[in-house]
Structure 1
């Protein structure tokens, strides 16, 4: 039996779907050094777990490193991540910032708090990738996130665009990847619970009150009694994003 033990159906789905997406898009190659953006939520923690398994399966060596930017609402919330990384012998960079409070202050008068905080955290993650010589930055967005982003861009920006699966930045020095994009949220939550991942609560005062949350709720109300509609939307959006990715490769 493999070192990670016997997997449940949901766990197998996560590992296999992630491997399928990584292989079909040429997401990583020999010697890749992957920074994993770990927020502490269920999506990023599930990605952390799955990538440690995929690392052992890949036919070539890759390195993994967890990157956590604490937004500053609870400066000790990341303790479970520190322990988890230590127990899995996973390198990690943990950093406490004031990005969250700043995003909700007078400093930020033009952008939504979520956008401003996310912008600051993303910039810092890029800096850490540069400083540690990382070749990839992985985000734990899933299929639900992709669909919500797709409709947000249509409604707010007039663009037909979801989340990129594999996209180069800084003249190709860094690739932003989303290995778990094929997974739906229910599968992610189920597998994370079965692995008993130490997910912690998001204490941001804007959590659950953003435009993204509104569109998420609207979509779920639209297809709540029609799984076929939901599946068709998910499949259409992911095919659109994969087609864009393949054209860029």
Structure 2
């Protein structure tokens, strides 16, 4: 590679890293994910998302206005052929505190789920319980997961299409028992950016093959639909994510969120009746590069 090509590649990498830092810092600020003295357990699966999460959080930690600790946890589910040496070698190289938790969830899933059925749901529940227990044992104040913007959008449509709920994946979540706070610092980050970053950083990716590379078909169908929309109408995905941040209960149909029964003539409702001109929906779609990087208004806030 020529010197000019190397310089250009480095410039593009720096730009990508800065964008991921900015979006992560903005999500942390918007949802107050990290506070002074936090001890954050980063769940490391060996996939591109969790590697990127740990890397960006370590990067932000060096310049953050608050002090917080990071430690990594990996759940070794005893999958046949799982490369047990990969993560310890990687984490030893980083010099970060970590723990490998060994639990044979593989046998449980294979025993409980009939052949050919999707195992993701049971596997996820088992992992969640083990990670909550580990967080308590190791004194974690927050549990950080590597879900990104695309995961959140896909979950919204999964719940709409298959669950009958307008429900997404929260950037910050309290566990049902009130003991664990789960955060998703990559909430504003695009999967494409994360994939590019992981490739350039050459993270030692470990594929999830617990179920023989079985895919959650419903999620894959949603992902394919969104990719097709993005191809046909650049900017649509950004608009969907922005819509998730701009919910108007008075213009939905959930009577538990808005008191339609008591609505009286003369009452002024925030975001009330706006006449929509058909021309609003006939204008050309703005190319993606003209949108903000995450589809949200980004302020100059960086941890």
Aligned to 1:98: 104
Aligned to 1:247: none
1:153 shift after superposition: 0.8
Matches within 5 A, 1:21-32: 21-32=27-38
Distance 1:169 1:209, change over 3 A: closer
Distance 1:81 1:148, change over 3 A: same
Q: TM-score, normalised by structure 2?
A: 0.71
**2:71/2:98 contact within 8 Å kept:** yes
Residue 17 (str. 1) matches residue 55 (str. 2)? no
1:206 shift after superposition: 4.7
1:56 shift after superposition: 1.2
Residue 229 of structure 1: which of 232, 236, 242 is its match? Answer: 236
How many pairs align? 235
Matches within 5 A, 1:1-249: 8-74=14-80, 76-105=82-111, 107-108=112-113, 112-169=118-175, 172-204=178-210, 205-239=212-246
1:57 shift after superposition: 1.5
Task: Tell me, in whole angstroms, the C-alpha distance in 1 between the residues paired with 2:156 and 2:176.
Answer: 24
**For the aligned residues, what is the CA RMSD?**
2.3
Task: Tell me, in whole angstroms, the C-alpha distance in 2 between the residues paired with 1:37 and 1:213.
Answer: 23
SS class of match (1:164): coil
Task: Tell me, in whole angstroms, the C-alpha distance in 1 between the residues paired with 2:147 and 2:160.
Answer: 19
Distance 1:171 1:114, change over 3 A: closer
1:223 shift after superposition: 3.3
1:89 shift after superposition: 1.3
Return the index of the structure with the highest Cα Rg: 2
Distance 1:238 1:194, change over 3 A: farther
Task: Tell me, in whole angstroms, the C-alpha distance in 1 between the residues paired with 2:217 and 2:105.
Answer: 17
SS class of match (1:201): coil
**1:32/1:136 contact within 8 Å kept:** yes
1:102 shift after superposition: 2.4
**1:65/1:90 contact within 8 Å kept:** yes
The range that moved more, 55-64 or 180-189, is: 55-64
Unaligned ranges ≥5, structure 2:
1-9, 248-303
Task: Tell me, in whole angstroms, the C-alpha distance in 1 between the residues paired with 2:213 and 2:107.
Answer: 11
Which of the two has greater helix per residue? 1
Q: TM-score, normalised by structure 1?
A: 0.86
Task: Tell me, in whole angstroms, the C-alpha distance in 2 between the residues paired with 1:42 and 1:34.
Answer: 19
**1:182/1:238 contact within 8 Å kept:** no
SS class of match (2:106): helix
Aligned to 1:245: none
